[in-house]
Amino acid sequence: MSTTSHAPNACTPTRVAIIGSGNVGSTLAQRIAERNLANVVLLDIVDGRPQGVALDLLEARGIEGHDRQIVGTTDYAMTAGSDVVVITAGLPRRPGMSRDDLLKTNAAIVMEAAQKAIAHSPNAIFIVVTNPLDVMTYLAWKATGLPPERVMGMAGILDSARFQTFIALELGVSTADVSAMVMGSHGDLMVPLPRYSTVNGIPITELLDADTIARLVHRTRNGGAEIVELMQTGGAYYAPASSTCVMVETILLNKSRLLPIASYLRGEYRLSDIFIGVPTRLGCGGAESVLELQLSDSELKELHSSAAVVRQGIDRAMALL
- Give the binding site for ligand A3D (CB under 6 A): 19-25, 44-46, 49, 88-90, 92, 109, 112-113, 129-131, 133, 154-155, 158, 186, 234-237, 240
CB-based contacts of 139, cutoff 8 Å, min separation 6: 107, 110, 111, 114, 314, 317
Known binding residue 41? Answer is no
Known binding residue 162? Answer is yes
Known binding residue 182? Answer is no
In whole angstroms, the minimum distance from the beta carbon of 262 to ligand A3D comes to 8
In whole angstroms, the minimum distance from the beta carbon of 149 to ligand A3D comes to 20
* Residue in the shown chain whose Cβ atom is closest to ligand A3D: 22
Assess whether 186 carries a catalytic annotation.
yes
Q: Of 68, 48, 49, nearest to 59 (Cα)?
A: 68
> Which residue number, 183 or 236, has a Cβ lying nearer to ligand A3D?
236
Burial 22-32 (b: 16+ CB within 10 A, else e): bbbbbbbbbbb
Known binding residue 145? Answer is no
Known binding residue 23? Answer is yes
**Amino acid at site 99:** R
Angle subtended by helix axes 238-252 and 156-171, to nearest 10: 120
Distance CA 246, CA 249 (A): 5
Active-site residue, from 6, 186, 218, 304: 186
> Which residue number, 33 or 157, has a Cβ lying nearer to ligand A3D?
157
In whole angstroms, the minimum distance from the beta carbon of 156 to ligand A3D comes to 9
> Which residue number, 237 or 269, has a Cβ lying nearer to ligand A3D?
237
> Which residue number, 52 or 285, has a Cβ lying nearer to ligand A3D?
52
Phi/psi for 180 (5° steps) reads: -125, 155
> Which residue number, 208 or 224, has a Cβ lying nearer to ligand A3D?
224
Known binding residue 22? Answer is yes
**Amino acid at site 27:** T
For the sheet with 202-203, list strands across it: 178-179, 198-199, 202-203
> Which residue number, 157 or 208, has a Cβ lying nearer to ligand A3D?
157
Distance CA 142, CA 100 (A): 20
Q: Of 96, 94, 122, 130, nearest to 19 (Cα)?
A: 130
Known binding residue 62? Answer is no
In whole angstroms, the minimum distance from the beta carbon of 173 to ligand A3D comes to 25
Catalytic residues: 186
Binding site residue list for NAD(+): 20-25, 44, 106, 129-131
Binding site residue list for substrate: 93, 99, 131, 162
Binding site residue list: 20-25, 44, 93, 99, 106, 129-131, 162
